[in-house]
Amino acid sequence: MLKPLTVMAALGAVLALGACDTTPKAPTDKGICYSVGLLRDGKVKFNKVAENQPTLEACIARLEELRIKFLRMGGSHRDLIGAYQGKYLFIDASGVAIADGLKSGRFYAFTRSPTGELALPNVVNQPAPGAGPGDTAPPAEGPEQK
């Protein structure tokens, strides 16, 4: 049986960890996708990118389009922070991470494939059915390869 002092210490640690991230919460507006600007004075600005986004994945697609558009126009920032329905989205060279706050722990929902596209982490570099360890799937045959 747990001692009351142990329970109180564990509860205090959880509360202390939750208090570490003092950044603003992401907007919870339904279906609205935001780009997040980090200002020099430490404040956060939410810029509306798209409305009527039915899913988190749709918002990520809009943010990835925005990131690529900025890069094609000569921008140098390869990372982008977004927000969707109370979650922060971090898009970078590794993929897309999701978190409850700007300084909270991040969960990678998508990773970049070797071609730079976003994919589910368990889909990238999967072996072909029946292949041995370390073997990857061969390229699909197109009509010109037959």
Is 103 a domain residue? yes
75 located within any domain? yes
pLDDT tens-digit profile of 85-132? 999 999 998 899 999 999 999 999 998 888 888 888 776 555 555 555
Q: List, in order, residues 6 or more apart from 4 with CB less than 8 Å away.
A: none
Looking at residue 113, its pLDDT comes to: 83
Total domain count for the chain? 1
Report pTM. Answer: 0.68
Query: Is residue 10 assigned to a domain?
Result: no
Res. 79: pLDDT tops 60: yes
Q: Which two tokens stand for residue 60?
A: 């990520």
Residue ranges with strand state E in the chain: 33-38, 44-50, 80-84, 87-92, 95-99, 107-112, 118-119
Give the residue with greater pLDDT, 7 vs 60. 60
Domain hosting 67: range is: 23-113
- Average pLDDT of the chain, as a whole number: 79
| Residue 127 maps to a domain | no
| Helix (H), strand (E) at residue 69 | helix 56-72
Domain assignment of residue 118, yes or no: no
The answer to whether residue 5 sits within a structural domain is no
